[in-house]
């Protein structure tokens, strides 16, 4: 059961990190920022729903991991 709990925690944190990567960055002070397609896409809130979804599922997965009996309950 310990491995399941660890894998569940790991998957939850990976989903949260992936969701944070989808968050819009905002405009920076770099004048060449508008020339990059990546920065233009990152500034748009186009992936905001994906970000909220990944963060929500990641937090729920971490919550499930803490509800699984682990090291101290055996």
Q: What is the pLDDT of residue 25?
A: 72
Write down the pTM of the prediction.
0.75
Q: What is the pLDDT of residue 28?
A: 65
Q: What is the spatial distance between Cα 47 and Cα 21, in angstroms, rounded to a whole number?
A: 10
Q: What percent of the chain has pLDDT over 70?
A: 82
Token pair 């979804």 is found at 53
Q: What is the pLDDT of residue 27?
A: 66
What's the mean per-residue pLDDT of the chain? 84
Give the domain extent around 15.
2-73
Please give the tally of structural domains in the chain: 1
> For residue 65, what are its two tokens?
């991991």
Q: What is the spatial distance between Cα 10 and Cα 6, in angstroms, rounded to a whole number?
A: 6
pLDDT tens digit string along 45-73?
Answer: 778 899 999 999 999 999 999 898 876 65
Residue partners of 50: CB distance under 8 A and separation at least 6:
19, 22
């Amino acid at each position: 059961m310990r491995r399941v709990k660890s894998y569940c925690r790991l998957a939850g944190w990976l989903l949260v990190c992936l969701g944070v990567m989808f968050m819009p960055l905002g405009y920076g002070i770099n004048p060449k920022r508008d020339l990059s397609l990546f920065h233009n896409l990152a500034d748009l809130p186009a992936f905001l729903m994906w970000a909220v979804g990944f963060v929500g599922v990641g937090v729920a997965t971490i919550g499930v991991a803490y509800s699984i009996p682990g090291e101290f309950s055996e």
